[in-house]
Amino acid sequence: MVEHSDVVCPFCGCLCDDLELTVEGGEITGVKNACAISRSKFMNHGENRLRLAIDGKEASLEGAIEEAAGILGDAKRPLVYGLSSTDCGAIGRAVELAEVLGGVVDNTSSVCHGPTILALQQVGESKTTLGEVKNRADLVVFWGSNPTESHLRHLIRYSAMPKGMYVPEGRKGRHIVAVDVRETRMKRVADEFVKVDQGGDFELLLALRAAVRGVKIKAESVSGVPRERIMELARRMKGAKMGIVFFGLGLTQSEGRHMNIDAAVGLVSELNHHTKFLLTPMRGHYNVAGANSVTTWQTGYPYAVDFARGYPRYNPGEYTSVDLLAKGEADAAIIIASDPAATFPAEAVRHLAKIPVVTLDQKVTPTTMLSRVTIPVATAGVEAEGTAYRMDGVALRMSKVVEPEEGMLSDEAVLEAIIERVRALKGEVG
Amino acid sequence: MPKIDVTIISGRTAEQGAGLEEGKTSERYAQSTSLIELSPADAEALGIDEGGTVKVTTPHGVVVVHSKRSEGLEEGLAFFPYGPWANQVFGASTYGTGMPLYKGVEAEIEPSGEDVPSLEDIVDGFRSGS
């Protein structure tokens, strides 16, 4: 029996790094400090595993890599997509593959916090680490974000419960505000719940900014929130020692998208005339922040990068995966650590079903069911080590706690092999 | 047959998250994603029991799913957990941003006697282009 401590959880952007695992006979038999989703990931990582196959028929790894290289090398407009649930080494290789192919590389942020990136590129951001939040924040706002369902230990480890250096009382020393269009469990967790009309976040953020600036609001209510409530919240925000807005897909996936984030940054910027205020996106997949970072340091851009002209170009709305598929532009795709057939609108998936797809994953998914080539890979952070970036940009090293099935490679190693074969097929020296 | 108009928002649930880590082909994943949450008033207006099947129609598609009452929703707002069932009724237009509209989709909901499609049915639908 082997006990592993300080294990990093590869599920959500919290990247909790205090898990304790028990491994007996090469199997994980116990998980401590994990949330329900993390426990499910570690305890069920061996279930519903994908098999090596070409057109549904059993294949060798070499055969699958050869077929994958052929499909991608022959394509005019290949798409490399996914990458948020694997390690940074694999992401780097995926960018390299897109460059070698002259294709497009995109990651799942195009359908989660892509609008956040669009806004922050325009107006900047005031950032911090979750450690600073734990030690200093006395006002924590969750806007369009429900950590009780999606980031289950965020409140316990970073934002609500922990005793910090300047928040020695812990939960009692913090005022928690939740802003949402529906009453989630956050209504019970927070000190204050603000119900905003669906699609009304932008107006409410602007009204709050105006109130912080001292402008008198003439309307009796904005987006369903009474004027007095807005004035009171503005007073409270200005009076905080350190405040933070954690915002989620309630802002990025609603009408207005990046403009909602622009308004949130504007509010935080206004508040910095009075006190210290920050904002952090609640990144979903555990290494989606890493996908943006690696793609940026290799190409200059965080997602939606096209290499068709031999150099990187960036244009969300054109080189983003949903658009490329819905317009019928992509003629082949390689999907790494993602399941677009379950997460994209059906209209985009129907095109994915028409083109040859190569998928690297651990488990059977709707995307693998539609794929011509399926290559099972070692689970990063469980069966393979690697680096991942937390939602606040802190890099953490994930462990390998059990051996993968014999002969099963990591995402990075499979991508390396495909790149080598594509280069050979194109007559380039690897 | 009663019909109601709602605005759909989609999102993650802990059960959907745990289900996908068991596997997308697991019963837990299908159960947690092939349902739509309705406000008590809307469920009442449709005259359906807890878990009763409903047909969700938008300009982008149609899907039959189970229903679940949720006290946290106000009348006219429905919550669809992320997954292939929800994505049957969302459009792919991103208005130049890369992001489809996953929250704030207008839909019509009515009771349905049809079976809820399985994951395999949905994947077959992608293949046949329907």
Residues A178-195: pLDDT tens digits? 999 999 999 999 999 999
The residue out of A259, A281, A303 marking a domain boundary is A281
- CA torsion through residues A260, A261, A264, A269, sign: negative
Check CB contact under 8 Å for A48 and B24. Answer: yes
Check CB contact under 8 Å for A341 and B127. Answer: no
Is A233 among the domain residues?
A: yes
Rounded (10°) CA dihedral A139, A144, A145, A149? 130
Is A207 among the domain residues?
A: yes
- Report chain A residues whose CB lies below 8 A from the CB of B125: 346
Of the CA atoms within 13 Å of residue A331, those in its CB half-sphere come to 11
Residue A177, judged by CB atoms within 10 A of its CB (0-12, 13-18, 19+), counts as buried
φ/ψ (deg, to 5) at A386: 170, 175
Same domain, A124 and A105: no
The residue out of A281, A304, A326 marking a domain boundary is A281
For chain A, say whether B93 makes contact (Cβ under 8 Å): yes
Same domain, A252 and A401: no
Residue B73: predicted pLDDT = 97
Is A33 among the domain residues?
A: no
DSSP sequence for A250-291: HHHSSTTTHHHHHHHHHHHHHHTTTSEEEEEE---BTTHHHH
Same domain, A396 and A372: yes
Same domain, A274 and A290: no
Residue B49 has a CB neighbour count (10 Å cut-off) of 9
Same domain, A64 and A207: no
Same domain, A173 and A294: no
The residue out of A262, A281, A300 marking a domain boundary is A281
Is A16 among the domain residues?
A: no
Is A199 among the domain residues?
A: yes
Tens of pLDDT, residue by residue over B94-117, are 999 999 999 999 999 999 999 999
Which CATH number characterizes residue A209's domain? 3.40.228.10
- The CA distance from A97 to A101, in Å, is 6
Which CATH number characterizes residue A316's domain? 3.40.50.740
Give the DSSP H or E segment for B43. Answer: helix B40-46
Rounded to a whole number of angstroms, the distance from the CA of A65 to the nearest CA of chain B is 24
Scored b (16 or more CB within 10 A) or e, A54-64 reads beeeebeeeeb
- Which B residues in the span 10-39 are in contact with A, Cβ-Cβ below 8 Å? 10-14, 17-19, 21-26
Cα angle: B108, vertex B10, A90; to 5 degrees: 140
Same domain, A265 and A366: no
Cβ partners under 8 Å of residue A396, min gap 6: A8, A15, A17, A387, A388, A389, A390
Same domain, A312 and A174: no
Residue A429: predicted pLDDT = 61
Is A193 among the domain residues?
A: yes
Residue A29, judged by CB atoms within 10 A of its CB (0-12, 13-18, 19+), counts as exposed
Say how many domains are in chain A: 2
Interface mutation vs chain A, best among B5, B21, B34, most A CBs within 10 Å: B21
Same domain, A264 and A346: no
Is A410 among the domain residues?
A: yes
Same domain, A356 and A301: yes
Give the DSSP H or E segment for A13. Answer: none
Out of B9, B61, B97, name the one closest to residue A181 (CB).
Answer: B9
Is A231 among the domain residues?
A: yes
* Range of the structural domain that residue A147 is part of: 114-281
Nearest CA to A103 out of A306, A300, A295, A291 is that of A306
Scored b (16 or more CB within 10 A) or e, B3-20 reads ebebbbbbbbbbbbbbbb
Same domain, A122 and A263: yes
Same domain, A139 and A94: no
Distance of CA A278 to the CA centre of its chain: 20
What string of pLDDT tens digits covers the 430 residues of chain A? Answer: 999 999 999 999 999 999 999 999 999 999 999 999 999 999 999 999 999 999 999 999 999 999 999 999 999 999 999 999 999 999 999 999 999 999 999 999 999 999 999 999 999 999 999 999 999 999 999 999 999 999 999 999 999 999 999 999 999 999 999 999 999 999 999 999 999 999 999 999 999 999 999 999 999 999 999 999 999 999 999 999 999 999 999 999 999 999 999 999 999 999 999 999 999 999 999 999 999 999 999 999 999 999 999 999 999 999 999 999 999 999 999 999 999 999 999 999 999 999 999 999 999 999 999 999 999 999 999 999 999 999 999 999 999 999 999 999 999 999 999 999 999 999 876 5
Report, in angstroms and rounded to the nearest whole number, the Rg of chain B calculated over CA atoms.
Answer: 14
Residue A171: predicted pLDDT = 98
Nearest CA to A16 out of A4, A33, A39 is that of A33
CATH 3.30.470.20 assigned to B4-128: no
Rounded to a whole number of angstroms, the distance from the CA of B24 to the nearest CA of chain A is 5
